[in-house]
Amino acid sequence: MTKKILVYGQQVVQGKIPISGAKNAALPLLAASILSEDGLTLNNVPPLSDIRTMLVLLGTLGIEHSVSNLNSFSMSLNCKTDAISNFEAPYDIVKQMRASILVLGPLLARFGQCKVSLPGGCAIGVRPIDLHLKGLQALGATIELKDGYVYAQAKRGLKGTEFTFPIVTVTGTENLLMAAALADGETVLKNAAREPEIKDLASCLIKMGAKISGHGTSEIRIKGVSRLHYTDHTVLLDRIEAGTYAIAAGITNGQVDLIGHSIKDLLPTFIKKMEEIGLMFEDINGGLRVTSSGKLNGTKITTEPFPGFPTDLQAQTMSLLCVASGKSLINETIWENRFMHVAELIRMGASISVTGARATIIGKHQLVGAPVMATDLRASSSLILAGLVAKGNTIVDRVYHLDRGYCAMEEKFGNCGVKIERI
């Protein structure tokens, strides 16, 4: 198995990049298939290792799937959900992918019981699920934590409730949204996440027969129904992938046409910040053109829940700021340990210091290629971006992180005249 990516330095990105479906939309949508016995078809699913992990998990529950229209950027999946016979998400799978927790709400809502391994922390933070559990308890579930597992029960079904999230949680909102869709009565979720992926999940649930309003705002209302039915749904495009390639154009002084609709609406604060830094955006037929102005300036960034600046583009933006003029500040407010890429960027000559959740970056004229280590998904893309502009070659180790969230990066870059290769 290949484990490293060789990035040739001082390249210029010039061309078109089709944006794939969003991993973080496809994962909850796959979990939502559990809610109905009629099955679900999803189109524009990105062929990624995290999606394969979710399919393995669904397989252990008794969900069979078939794949069609497969290419390196996309696939369609049909899930057959009428023979679910196991309600356990085992540790071996959950430890590979935290988003496995998304089966908790749907299993409990449809079958009144489940056993899901506690996910534990990961490279970017402790990542508790206490709010998923509190929300489900508010819906009437009994929760017990034993031997590293969540045992959840709702023998007489879930009951609509009002629940206020003390902090915004994306998968927490998704879990409660799915659970409430089959609860008895109305549920109101306050301080809910407003991420586009939540809106996409709600749209699919509505097509399945759910009664949901307010999705995309911080107050979501769900009137529970007794059953949901078959539908097909096309997965929203990946705003984080789009943002990563926009930065690739910016950092290499190039130009890229991101192919996909409404990309601007998915990245409001990111685009504003990129304009401040020196990238130019222009609507084109079927997409968004991103051009580097040739002069990059430092800025201040604070990561926040949507519509704020996405934490999932923080590492990539840091690479860009490493070669922008002057001083920049990044305040990471979502994850307590999401600066693991800093040490690697410093190995490439970057000038960055970190105090707590704040990083100060002093822009440099030139980074230099080096062997570096990817520590998580977004860190891996930030190192590839830095490698593209560096003098000399960069070898990024542990690229299995990359394969969790970016499909066919070599091919997409290759179509823009940029060479990165697996070694």
* Residue numbers annotated as active site: 122
131 binds ligand EPU (CB under 6 A): yes
125 binds ligand EPU (CB under 6 A): yes
175 binds ligand EPU (CB under 6 A): no
67, 69, 71, 130: which one binds ligand EPU (CB under 6 A) = 130
Q: How far apart are CA 191 and CA 167, in angstroms?
A: 7
Where in 287-316 is the site for ligand EPU (CB under 6 A)? 311-312
Q: How far is the CB of 351 from ligand EPU (least distance, A)?
A: 26
88 DSSP β-pair partners = 115
Judged by beta carbon, residue 130 or residue 421, the one nearer ligand EPU is: 130
Only segment of 74-82, 162-170, 346-354, 356-364 that touches ligand EPU (CB under 6 A): 162-170
* CA distance readout (Å), 218 to 4, 36, 338, 381: 41, 26, 25, 30
Measured distance between the N- and C-terminal CA atoms of the chain, rounded to whole angstroms: 9
176 binds ligand EPU (CB under 6 A): no
5 binds ligand EPU (CB under 6 A): no
Judged by beta carbon, residue 58 or residue 129, the one nearer ligand EPU is: 129
- CB neighbour burial string for 23-55, b if at least 16 within 10 angstroms, e if fewer: bbbbbbbbbbbbbbebbbbbbbbbbbbbbebbb
Give the total residue count for the chain: 423
DSSP string for 168-220: --HHHHHHHHHHHHTSBSEEEEES----HHHHHHHHHHHHTT-EEE-BTBSEE
* Both tokens assigned to 347: 């190995």
Strands of the 88-89 sheet, one edge to the other? 88-89, 113-117, 149-153, 142-146
Q: How far apart are CA 99 and CA 117, in angstroms?
A: 11
Q: How far apart are CA 328 and CA 319, in angstroms?
A: 11
17, 26, 27, 210: which one binds ligand EPU (CB under 6 A) = 27
Judged by beta carbon, residue 178 or residue 370, the one nearer ligand EPU is: 178
Judged by beta carbon, residue 14 or residue 96, the one nearer ligand EPU is: 96
* Both tokens assigned to 331: 């305040």
405 binds ligand EPU (CB under 6 A): yes
171 binds ligand EPU (CB under 6 A): yes
Cis upstream peptide for 166 (omega within 30°): no
169 binds ligand EPU (CB under 6 A): yes
Q: How far apart are CA 108 and CA 208, in angstroms?
A: 18
15, 90, 112, 128: which one binds ligand EPU (CB under 6 A) = 128
How far is C-alpha 154 from the chain's CA centre?
A: 30
243 binds ligand EPU (CB under 6 A): no
Where in 91-120 is the site for ligand EPU (CB under 6 A)? 99
* Both tokens assigned to 251: 């950092």
Judged by beta carbon, residue 235 or residue 370, the one nearer ligand EPU is: 235
Where in 335-354 is the site for ligand EPU (CB under 6 A)? 335
Q: How far apart are CA 297 and CA 278, in angstroms?
A: 6
Q: Single out the residue of 305, 131, 132 nearest to residue 217, CA to CA.
A: 305
Judged by beta carbon, residue 273 or residue 324, the one nearer ligand EPU is: 273
244 binds ligand EPU (CB under 6 A): no
220 binds ligand EPU (CB under 6 A): no
Q: How many residues of this chain bind ligand EPU (CB under 6 A)?
A: 22
Judged by beta carbon, residue 19 or residue 334, the one nearer ligand EPU is: 334
Residue with tokens 């922008």: 324
Q: What is the largest CA-CA distance in the chain?
A: 64
170 binds ligand EPU (CB under 6 A): yes
Judged by beta carbon, residue 29 or residue 324, the one nearer ligand EPU is: 29
172 binds ligand EPU (CB under 6 A): yes
Residue window 354-383: x/- pattern of binding to ligand EPU, with contact defined by CB under 6 A: -----------------------xx-----
41 binds ligand EPU (CB under 6 A): no
Residues that bind ligand EPU (CB under 6 A): 24, 27, 99, 125, 127-132, 167, 169-172, 311-312, 334-335, 377-378, 405
